[in-house]
Structure formats: structure tokens, C-alpha cells
Structure 1
Amino acid sequence: MSVLSGLQPADVFGYFEKLCAVPHGSGNTKQISDLCAGFARELGLKYRQDGANNLVIWKEASPGYEDAEPIILQGHMDMVCAKTEDCPKDMAVEGLDLMTDGEWVWAKDTTLGGDNGIAIAMILAILADQTLPHPPIEALFTTDEEVGMDGAIALDCSDLKGKKLLNLDSEEEGVFTVSCAGGVRLDCLLPGTAGNASGLQGYEVLLEGLQGGHSGADIDKGRGSANQLMGRVLYSSMEQIPGLRLADIRGGSFDNVICSRNCARVAVPVDRAADFEALIRTFDQVLKNEYAASDGGIVLTCQKSEVQTAISAQDTERMLHVLLALPQGVQAMSMDFPGLVQTSLNLGVMGMEADGLHMAVSVRSCIASQKAMMVQRVRSIVEYAGGTVEERNGYPGWQFVKESAFRDLVLEAYREISGKEPLIEATHGGLECGLFMEKIPGLDALSMGPELHDVHSVRERLSVPSTERVYRLVCEILKRSK
């Protein structure tokens, strides 16, 4: 018996459970793409699957809608794979362990992938429904959105005829997104070579218990970045304990996730070992005080550990200067949309390798010039310290359009169904709409979705009643698009 049986809409949650049964982390989307292509074949629908595992499925109009303009329904197939420290699951080869209490759906010890699997499930249910009145539908399932929108960048849109795009990648019911930030990833390297650390006392320093979260949706919540804070801890340690050497520092798996855990290994002069331990205990209390509201579970500890090699004190100083100086979090707020983050960056991933310290930074802004300025700032800090910066996965923002007939139709449907007034917002998160608007001239786009909380974290959960209401709204939008 399926875990989600009995939840409504039954077809939506049935498809969602099938999607969750196969691994589909970013960069690992062949299996889920094939699964969705198989659904298209079973339904007798025309489809196209490309080399990036993107999938387009066409469904002809229902009777009476033959002359209506097509609508593009869109979501992405990949998910962010995160799990608890003690979870044994290999998310590269295993599906999720779904759980529900009837009100919420979540996955045991891992992310749920409701972002954006629930969109794919809704669209599949619509494609399978033979009773729903609708215009021609072009269902667009993209890949690797979470790591830079690689699928959307690679997608050939030349055979798409729709000029109205309903993106289902938003996470607040009743909030309709009409603009988003553009972004770019920066791969930074600070060179350094490890040498003998004999005669020094080694320590493993662990910073954990932070909430983390999405570097777009949660960047304004004041949550600490374990990567940034570990840099601060070790810089302060270096100031008080000359001769401290860095052996390793490692945190984060995705550049668009606020890092919740960092583990470092250092070597200090033996006669300063007690001082180092005291400093870590003191800093633990400092961080508990500073982050009591946003990250109440934060813990900083150290324990003695064998460290045979470490980079030089000079290279350590250079790296820690960069980690302290690199900006993190919100840099500017929007003047057009009160409460909206305009510009931010996130040091999502770092790790010491044989050639030095590697860092991955996600930069976001709805203003192209400010995005360029933040790239400039990171580059100036890293290159001044002898490092290098490479850009990748740049994507455009989605500029707000004041007049939109499609948006008017959607909002009127929402008012009549819910009895509530819709909220029109821009998001600091990245959406694929901007890329599609570049590829499809004249495209009119809107983004919406059901209630999802704590995406990209092991606390991610999807509201069941919200999913039902949003699905009903999508069906109503199709009915009205005659």
C-alpha cells in the first residue's frame, strides 16, 4: 500500500510518490526523465527528450478549445539532496522514504524534493485527465535547475508555440511571482600546499546545529552560514595563537544552500593547546548569544586529532583573511518591492584539496549591474590574495511587466475560488522564467505553487490541503483559457 494513498488529489499524490521512488538529485536526472517519458508514452502523447534530459510533452486541446492559444506548464525534475548526519541512505541510487500525517508530507531524514517534484506531479495528473477542459498544453520538464538552470539553458524552444507560461516553482500559496533575481556561480581557488605538521597539536573543530536553508528564499532570515562563521572562528584563533596552521576546512554541498555545518582541522603549537581549547569554548558562547533567535541549536566544539600535514602559517593567514573579508548574505534591499532582497551572495561550499582551498559562491540580484558589482567584489578579494575566480551558470533575471492579460486571468480565478486577494511579489530566488522569456519572444509568464516549508533542508514539508487548492486553481486557469 502506498504511503500517500488517501491524500487528495489522488492522481497528483500518486504521481508524486512514483517520482519520489527514483533518485533525482541535480546531475542525476536520467532516471526520472525516462520515467516521465514513459508516462507520456502510456498516455499516448507526443514528447521530446533531449540530451540534457529535458522533456517536452504535448497534449492537444480538448473539444471546444481547438482555437485557444497553447499554455506552457513548467516545472523542474531535479531536487536538492540533503540528509541528516546519521542517515545511511545513498540518495544517488535510492528513492525517498515518504511520511505523512494527512496534513503534511515529508521524507524521513532527507529533503523531500517538493521543490519541484510536486509541480511535475500536478502536470502529469493534468495530462492524464481526460475530463478536464483545456487549451493545447505544452508541458515542459527541465533538469538541473538547482545547480544553475543548466537544463533550461540547454533547452531548444523552437518547437514551442505557447506564449503563456505558468511556472509551478513557487512555494507560498496565494503569492504570485512576477519577477525574480538573476544569478551567477563563482568557483574560487586559493592556492596552497600542505607541508609537515609534526611537533604541533592537531584539532578537529566542528560547527553544527545551524538551520541552513535556501540561499534565495531564506537569505533574509538572518541565519548563520557555517562556512563564514568557521572562517571567523579560525581567524580569531590565528590572531591569538600565532603559528596556527590550517589542515582542512570543509562545509556545504550546494552553492545555493546556506551551509549548516563546517568541519575544520588545524594544528597549533603544543604550548598553546590549552589556550586554543579555551578560545573555542568562549567562541561557542559568543555564537550561541549572537544566533539565539535564528540558529538556537548552534554548537562549536573541538577535540584533539592527529594532523600530519597542514599548509604553512603564511598561507593559512592569507586564506583566513579572505574568509573573513568575503561578504555573505543580504547586500541590498529592493526599493520597488518592500521587504524584497535585491542583492545577496552565499558562500555555499568550501573544501581543501591538494592544490588549495576551493570555494563556490552564489551571487544573486534583480539588478544586472549590482550582480556584476558583487562578482567584482569577490574577484577583487580573492585575486588580491593570489587566488583565481571562474564564473559559471550565469542566468538572467526576470523583469516585472506592468500589464499582463494572462496574469489578470490567473488572479481573477484565484479571487473567485479562494475569496481572498492575491499577493503579487518578486522573489530573490532564481526562476527559469527569465531564460524562457529570452528564448520565446513575447512570452507572458507567472509563477505560483502550493505551500512548501524549509525547502533544501531535511525539514522540508509539503502542505496537503494547499496542494489540493492550488491544483484546483491550475485546472480552473486551464478551463478559462479558451
Structure 2
Amino acid sequence: MYSSLEELKKHPVFYYFSEISNIPRGSGNEKAISDYLLYFAKQRNLEVIQDEALNIIIKKPAVTGYEDIPAVIIQGHMDMVCEKNKESLHDFEKDPLQLRIVGDMLYATDTTLGADNGIAVAYALALLDSDDIPHPALEVVITTEEETNMRGAFAVDPACLDGEIFINIDSEEDNKLLVSGAGGIKATQILTITWQEAPENAVGYRISIRGLKGGHSGMSIHKGRGNANKIIGRLLYDLSSAFPYFIQEINGGSAVNAIPREADVTILLQSSEIGQLENKIQEWNQVLKNELRASDPDIYVKLEKIPLDCTKVFSEQTMNKAITFLMLIPNGIQSMSMEIEGLVESSTNIGVVTTIDKELLFESDIRSSVKSLKDNIRNQMKLMADTLDCQFTTDCNYPEWPYQPHSNIRRLFEKVYKDRHGTDIELIAVHAGFECGIFVEKLPGIDAISIGPDIYDVHTPNEHLNIPSTLNNWRYFLSVLKEMNTFKFEEHNETAIEEAEEVS
């Protein structure tokens, strides 16, 4: 469809997507992109708020004929997950993304694309910049730090918003309406490292897990993909039964909400044990190729001799505790929904393991559409930390987004879709955290929905965006806005409100 980026950028959505791709916007590094959005609004004389969390709220008045329609909040987040291939020299703190087209897909070279959630920002800017798109009053809310702790959404002052309809653009499946999402919490277990002197005449080796696909810890958790941190734990446990060795450091994963694709451990051992180590690595390559032949056929374990640059190693007690953590920490699907076929109800992902000076950190992403089950997984992890005499902290405890039985905006999206395609659109609930839950809590009575184009391999360097789907979803979105002046918005009656409360 599009043979070059220059041709693609002639469309306003992709023009703005390209513009923001030039601005570093990893979670916690949003000042530049927030300032860009602030400048954009001021240049167009639009009302704009930049709060202390660097969230941006831009307001645009209704066009003629749409003044009496309830204001619409359009919401997404400006930050992205920063994952790259090991060999990539890309610096997410300063380098622009290198966009490229392959067929109908848009990629970034060796890095995440940031379509999650740059596409929401691009849609919003294209809409705000237009003077010929019919729409009611708009309140565009672009938040920060969604990918790490949703601190931006939590910080939004609800008094700044008047909208009654909420359209989130952070879904990743075209031709579907997202109507419910999971809540979540980040759990961190901290093991204090006791160091001891490295043994004399020891040699150093780095063992690396490579070739895994990874993926979003919510959207891809059901795909059975290997978790590099769990795999390195299994390997270390097996080695400990074969010959003596010492650990210098363990590091795996780079984002708590991404299934870790890579992990490394540095071990020391005597020269006489090298042959056994090499044999074990060969065995594990065969084991993992067999176990993950369907989900991760390219997995491999790499063994590399390295020079020793440290005279300290984990004590035996620290080493045993670290391996115990990696072996026993809950990971993967914990329960499936009995109400929605195929929907993961609860899960956890041990996303990051980091050796820092005197501490070994284990960071997990817990998700559930049922609060009590989310709390239960948290309690399991706390009990494990207590048993192994570790610190335990939690962060980013965000609420579930319950299904709303009565929804005007859902009815409108359904009507427009059927008018366009002659068939009913699919309603879905997903096992992922959405800022919708936070805003539904903040804004009682808000009518929420989530849409988005097809995005694949999110939170990995293979992330790619379907270009025709993006354009189709954009036209669908605009058709909904256009039809708002003829659609009959019904008031919520008491029965509907009671039903919603029962479901939640």
C-alpha cells in the first residue's frame, strides 16, 4: 500500500506518529514529549493543561451542530516500553526510532515501535489539528508512566474534566471493542546479598538465555512463551546438583510488564568442572528446544568464558535463596475465567531480576480481573519473601475495569460498525491493565470503551503496526464521532445502575 515512509507520512495520523517517534519517551523520560504536546496545543490556541506528573489535557470546542452532545474524553498514554535487541546500539534516552515499512506493517529497527501507545497520541493530534472533522467537545488526556506504574493516570485531577464519554485508544485488536480489563499490582522482593571471597584459581563463565519471543505480560501470557528468568533458575538448580560453583551476578529482563526474553548469570568454577558445565549446557539446549518448540523455537543457551573483574561471589546461603526464589516464585497463568471462555483471569510475570551492589531484586507483574485473587497472589509472594527473610514491597496497585451492562458509547460503536460492515462487532475483555479502570473510579458514571488498530508483538523489538488496520480504525473512530449528533443517548436508569454495581 505504501512504498515509503515519506508517502505514508502524508496521512496525518502517520505524520504525527513519525513526529513523536523522533522524541525519546520511555516511561519516566516523558518531559520532551510532554513539552511537545504542550507546544502543539498552544500553537493552535487550544486550552491546555500540563500537570506536575507531565500529563497533558487538551480541550477543543465542539463544531457547529454538536454543541449539545456530552463532551468526549479521548485518552491514551505518551510513554512506551523500551526494549531492544542485545546487539542494538540504540539509546532510548536520546535516539529517534528508526521506522521502516515491511509490506503492510510498520516496524522500528531492532527496538520496540511504541505503537503502544503512540498510536493514541497520533490519532489525537491528527484530530485536534483538523478543521473539517465533525465532533463534539473534546478533552484529550495523554498520560505518563502507564507502562510502569500508571502514576500519570492516578495523578490526573478529575476536576479538570467535564466529559461524560470516555474513549481509550490503547487496545490492540481492530474490529473488536474492548469493554473490560484486569487490575494489577507490581511486587518487588529484595534479597540482601551476603558476599564472600571468590575461590582461588577459579574461572568465570557467563550463561545466557537468548532467542525467546517475550511479549506483553498480560496480552501474551496465555501463549506459553518461555520466561528467561524462570529458565535461568531451573538451569542453576540443575547445575548445583552436578558440581560446585559460585554466582557473581544474575540479571534478566528489562521491564516488569514484558515477558523476559533474555537473562544472564555469571558463575565461577574450577577448571576441572568445565567439561561438566559444557555438557550441561548442551543438555539444556536440547531440553529447551523440545519444551518450547512451538512457542519459542529459536531459544538457545549460550556459554561464554569471561575474564574475572570481581573478587566477590554470593555466599552459599545467598546463592541458595536466589535459586529458591527463581524456582518457586509464581509465574504464568494462575487461573482462567469460568465466565468468558479463553480469558485469563489471574497471572503473574517475574519480569526483572537485577543484581545491584548489596541487593538482588525480583520484580513481578501481578494481574487479575478479580481483586481477591490479585491480593492472594500478592500474599503468596509476601509469604515467600518472609520465609526467605527478604524485603517485600508493592507499587502501582491499579483497579480492575468492570464490564458496564448499560453503555451508550458501546451501543453507538456497535451501531456504526454494523452500518459499515453488516455484521456485529465482537466485544472482548482482556487480561491486561488499562487506565480505563482508574478513570472509571475517578469519574463516577463515566461511560467507557477502548479501541485500537492491530498491533503485534507488543513490548518486544518485533513490535509492528498494521497500516491498513490503523487507517480502518481511524475511519471507524471518526464515523462514531460524526454520528454523535444523530444518536439517541439514553439516560442511565436505576435498574441499569444496580446491574452495573452487581457486575462490578
Instruction: Output the TM-score relative to the length of structure 1.
Output: 0.97
Counterpart of 1:371 in structure 2 is: 374
Counterpart of 1:211 in structure 2 is: 213
Q: How does 1:462-473 map to 2 (within 5 A)?
A: 462-473=465-476
Give yes or no for the alignment of 1:346 onto 2:349: yes
SS at match of 2:186: strand
Give the Cα separation in 2 of the matches to 1:318 and 1:359: 12
Give, in angstroms, the shift of residue 196 of structure 1.
1.1
Q: How does 1:315-326 map to 2 (within 5 A)?
A: 315-326=318-329
Counterpart of 1:74 in structure 2 is: 75
* Cα shift readout 1:349-389 (whole Å, capped 9, x = no counterpart): 11112223111111000000000000011111122011111
Counterpart of 1:427 in structure 2 is: 430
Unaligned runs of 5+ in 2: 486-504
Q: How does 1:4-83 map to 2 (within 5 A)?
A: 4-7=5-8, 10-83=11-84
* Cα shift readout 1:234-255 (whole Å, capped 9, x = no counterpart): 01111222x3221111011110
Percent identical residues: 38
Which of 325, 336, 339 aligns to 1:336? It is 339
Counterpart of 1:389 in structure 2 is: 392
Q: How does 1:246-257 map to 2 (within 5 A)?
A: 246-257=247-258
Letter in 1 for 2:405: K
Counterpart of 1:235 in structure 2 is: 237
Give, in angstroms, the shift of residue 438 of structure 1.
0.7
CA contact (8 A) 2:9 2:18 kept: no
Letter in 2 for 1:472: R
SS at match of 2:142: strand
SS at match of 1:6: helix
Give the Cα separation in 1 of the matches to 2:177 and 2:22: 30
Give, in angstroms, the shift of residue 337 of structure 1.
1.3
**CA 1:419–1:106: 2 relative to 1, 3 Å:** farther
Give the Cα separation in 1 of the matches to 2:423 and 2:48: 37
Counterpart of 2:365 in structure 1 is: 362
Give the Cα separation in 2 of the matches to 1:352 and 1:239: 23
CA contact (8 A) 1:52 1:151 kept: yes
CA contact (8 A) 2:9 2:15 kept: no
Give, in angstroms, the shift of residue 102 of structure 1.
5.6
Give the Cα separation in 2 of the matches to 1:444 and 1:92: 37
Letter in 1 for 2:411: D
Give yes or no for the alignment of 1:295 onto 2:296: yes
Give the Cα separation in 2 of the matches to 1:245 and 1:338: 46
Counterpart of 1:188 in structure 2 is: 189
Counterpart of 1:202 in structure 2 is: 204
Give the Cα separation in 1 of the matches to 2:114 and 2:19: 12
Give the Cα separation in 2 of the matches to 1:277 and 1:314: 25
Instruction: Output the TM-score relative to the length of structure 2.
Output: 0.93
CA contact (8 A) 1:8 1:468 kept: no
Counterpart of 1:286 in structure 2 is: 287
Counterpart of 1:264 in structure 2 is: 265
Letter in 1 for 2:421: S
Between 2-11 and 437-446, the greater mean CA deviation after superposition: 2-11
CA contact (8 A) 1:102 1:464 kept: no
CA contact (8 A) 2:72 2:165 kept: yes
* Cα shift readout 1:121-143 (whole Å, capped 9, x = no counterpart): 11111111111111111111111
Give, in angstroms, the shift of residue 228 of structure 1.
0.7
* Cα shift readout 1:219-277 (whole Å, capped 9, x = no counterpart): 10000000110011001111222x32211110111100000000101123443332222
Give the Cα separation in 2 of the matches to 1:476 and 1:303: 57
CA contact (8 A) 1:244 1:313 kept: no
SS at match of 2:363: strand
Give the Cα separation in 1 of the matches to 2:9 and 2:178: 25
Give, in angstroms, the shift of residue 171 of structure 1.
0.5
Give, in angstroms, the shift of residue 162 of structure 1.
0.7
What number of residue pairs does the alignment pair up?
480
Give the Cα separation in 2 of the matches to 1:15 and 1:294: 35
Unaligned runs of 5+ in 1: none
CA contact (8 A) 1:350 1:357 kept: yes
SS at match of 1:408: helix
CA contact (8 A) 1:4 1:14 kept: no
Counterpart of 2:130 in structure 1 is: 129
* Cα shift readout 1:383-418 (whole Å, capped 9, x = no counterpart): 201111101111001011112121100111112123
CA contact (8 A) 1:414 1:422 kept: yes
Between 271-280 and 51-60, the greater mean CA deviation after superposition: 271-280
Letter in 1 for 2:478: C
SS at match of 2:5: coil
Give the Cα separation in 1 of the matches to 2:109 and 2:302: 27
| RMSD, aligned α-carbons | 1.4
